[in-house]
Amino acid sequence: TQLLEQSPQFLSIQEGENLTVYCNSSSVFSSLQWYRQEPGEGPVLLVTVVTGGEVKKLKRLTFQFGDARKDSSLHITAAQPGDTGLYLCAGLNSGGSNYKLTFGKGTLLTVNP
């Protein structure tokens, strides 16, 4: 069974601070996705990283995929209250069941004005 450990589980910071969320596994994934989920809504895809060592930037968000494709991080610079939400990482299985996403438990981020 492939597992994704996400940390921290909860994060409360002030507007303007930087933060990093981590997603770790002992398994190799063919790709890793980051989602953001707001209350009462489904997750919305932010980014997909595919290549080991890959770095992608989305405005103030920087996503990195580990060289061994087992871990990933999400860094937010100068957080804003609009960044508040549940951030989920999800790994796409390799091999036959390459449609199954294995999700971490999520990081609940609160950015206070």
Contact residues for other proteins (CB under 8 A)?
A: 4, 6, 40-45, 48, 88, 90, 92, 97-106
Is 87 within 8 Å of 21 (Cβ atoms)? yes
Q: How far is the CB of 43 from other proteins (least distance, A)?
A: 5
Instruction: Compare residues 96 and 113 and give the one whose CB is closer to other proteins.
Output: 96
Instruction: Compare residues 97 and 113 and give the one whose CB is closer to other proteins.
Output: 97
Instruction: Compare residues 18 and 51 and give the one whose CB is closer to other proteins.
Output: 51
Is 37 within 8 Å of 43 (Cβ atoms)? yes
Q: How far is the CB of 13 from other proteins (least distance, A)?
A: 21
Task: Return the exposure string of 21-59: e unless at least 16 CB atoms fall within 10 Å of the residue's CB, then b.
Answer: bbbbbeeebebbbbbbeeeeeebeebbebeeeebeeeee
